[in-house]
């Protein structure tokens, strides 16, 4: 990635991108729809069909991301050693089989909360490998000079899928039941895996001398690269804090909508979809905002100015207050969308090719691990205090998550670094 001013603005039309990227993009598009439908359907099934308690809902959310804590770091070493296309395809087909077991068990009358726990945990293992491999191969298929544009497109797509997937998921669950929605999730994984098989295999990477200490040394190199960097360390701390505090709200929303407010899955999907709109707006505005005020300021200034609006989510109720809460959720998601585009591009630009897998795995370990911790904490607060306590704690803490970036060299960083 170059640090010089850009003289042309790369188009976001997928036809302007290399064929391998177009296939990766198409797979991500389909995968994203299915994933967000599943993310909607599983907790709704737990609350509505299996009478899950707030603690069980929180644990379900925690297990869906626990794999990043369990194998997130070694996955980076494995991905750096394996063909990334094969990793992506295997992860998709494995997740399809796991997800399909849920509706089959429901129709057979044997589905239970423990099975949901096991499925979301093992599906998360597949997601660990898929996410690390996808981010690690992105610069290979587009080149470092187009990483910001490619990440903006991928984040815009992901935000669009949050709108379409969660909104569609809510409607499907409401109209056709949660098991049918989960079938669509499994089918999306299959289609995505088939598309990924058409990506041209990557050229064999030059054999690197085996690092002293073997696997453990290589794993530690990725961790040290992140924790020892004055740019990446505060970015990781800030983003992990955002994930944890957002999860305090997200994990309890199914309980709020379905049990406390008496609203249906469609209303929950539409509410979460407003977050997708915010994330999409954030992804679209991230590049022009960063060009105008600098990449560093684009990471912390939205947190200072916009994150306090998350307090509006704590006012959630039926009637007009539902719209007030939705506006706060949209504002939080906009801030997150901006940070995702700028942060991912900074991470990739500051990391040499041979460390990309391990850097991405380290970030995924920290960021998705924060989601797991946030889900557990939300479940504890919801079970032993009340669900609104989880919303209040999440909103208050989220308003402070910009501080690690502000008190670091990132504060005035004009452009992402470049590693040759």
**pLDDT at res. 174:** 79
Q: How high is the mean pLDDT of the chain?
A: 84
**pLDDT at res. 420:** 54
Cα-based torsion angle of the residue sequence 82, 86, 88, 91 in order, rounded to the nearest 10 degrees: -100
* Cβ-based neighbours of 420, under 8 Å, separated by 6 or more: none
Whether 231 shows a pLDDT value over 80: the answer reads: yes
Q: How many CB atoms lie within 10 A of CB 314?
A: 18
Segment 78-101 shows an average pLDDT of: 89
Whether 11 shows a pLDDT value over 50: the answer reads: no
Segment 317-346 shows an average pLDDT of: 91
pLDDT, tens digit, 9 for 90 and up, residues 173-230: 877 788 888 998 999 999 999 999 888 765 555 454 554 557 778 778 888 999 999 9
Domains within the chain, CATH numbers bracketed:
17-201+219-412 (1.20.1250.20)
| Sole residue written with tokens 């057979």 | 108
**pLDDT at res. 418:** 67
Q: Are 25 and 17 in contact (CB under 8 A)?
A: yes
**pLDDT at res. 89:** 92
Pure H helices in 108-146: 113-142
Segment 350-364 shows an average pLDDT of: 80
The half-sphere exposure of 182 on its side-chain side, counting CA atoms within 13 A, is 25
- Report pTM: 0.72
Output 27 or 147, whichever has higher pLDDT: 27
Segment 140-144 shows an average pLDDT of: 72
pLDDT, tens digit, 9 for 90 and up, residues 90-141: 999 999 999 999 999 999 999 999 999 999 999 989 988 888 788 777 767 7
**pLDDT at res. 160:** 67
For residues 14 and 233, give the distance between their C-alpha atoms in angstroms, rounded to a whole number.
33
Q: Are 92 and 193 in contact (CB under 8 A)?
A: yes
Q: Are 161 and 269 in contact (CB under 8 A)?
A: no
**pLDDT at res. 165:** 66
Pure H helices in 228-355: 232-250, 253-255, 265-293, 295-306, 320-349
Q: How many CB atoms lie within 10 A of CB 163?
A: 21
Q: Closest by alpha carbon to 201, among 23, 359, 1?
A: 23
Q: Which two tokens stand for residue 148?
A: 């910001």
């Amino acid at each position: 990635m170059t640090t010089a001013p850009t003289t042309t603005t790369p188009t976001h039309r997928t036809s302007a991108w290399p064929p391998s990227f177009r296939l990766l993009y198409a797979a991500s598009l389909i995968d994203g729809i299915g994933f967000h439908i599943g993310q909607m359907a599983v907790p709704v099934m737990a609350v509505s069909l299996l009478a899950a308690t707030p603690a069980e809902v929180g644990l379900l959310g925690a297990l869906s991301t626990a794999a990043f804590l369990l194998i997130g770091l070694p996955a980076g070493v494995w991905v750096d050693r394996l063909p990334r296309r094969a990793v992506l395809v295997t992860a998709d087909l494995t997740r399809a089989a796991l997800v399909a077991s849920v509706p089959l068990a429901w129709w057979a009358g044997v589905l239970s909360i423990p099975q949901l726990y096991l499925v979301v945990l093992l599906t998360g293992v597949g997601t660990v490998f898929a996410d690390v491999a996808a981010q690690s191969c992105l610069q290979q298929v587009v080149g470092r000079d187009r990483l910001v544009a490619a990440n903006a497109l991928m984040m815009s797509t992901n935000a669009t899928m949050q709108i379409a997937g969660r909104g569609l998921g809510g409607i499907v669950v409401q109209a056709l039941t949660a098991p049918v929605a989960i079938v669509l999730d499994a089918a999306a994984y299959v289609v995505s895996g088939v598309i990924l098989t058409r990506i041209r295999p990557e050229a064999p990477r030059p054999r690197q001398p085996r690092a002293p200490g073997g696997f453990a040394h290589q794993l530690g190199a990725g961790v040290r690269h992140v924790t020892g960097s004055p740019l990446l360390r505060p970015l990781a701390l800030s983003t992990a804090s955002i994930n944890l505090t957002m999860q305090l709200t997200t994990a309890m929303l199914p309980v709020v909508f379905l049990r406390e407010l008496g609203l249906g899955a469609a209303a929950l999907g539409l509410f979460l979809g407003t977050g997708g709109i915010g994330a999409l707006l954030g992804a679209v505005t991230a590049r022009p905002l960063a060009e105008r005020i600098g990449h560093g300021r684009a990471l912390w200034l939205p947190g200072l100015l916009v994150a306090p609006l998350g307090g509006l989510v704590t006012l959630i109720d039926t009637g007009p207050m539902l719209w007030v809460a939705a506006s706060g959720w949209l504002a939080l998601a906009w801030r997150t969308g901006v940070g995702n585009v700028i942060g991912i591009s900074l991470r990739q630009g500051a990391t040499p090719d041979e460390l990309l897998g391990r850097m991405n795995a380290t970030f995924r370990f920290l960021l998705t691990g924060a989601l797991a911790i946030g889900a557990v904490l939300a479940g504890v607060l919801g079970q032993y205090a009340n669900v609104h306590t989880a919303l209040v704690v999440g909103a208050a803490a989220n308003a402070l998550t910009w501080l690690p970036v502000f008190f670091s060299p990132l504060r005035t960083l004009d452009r992402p670094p470049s590693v040759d």
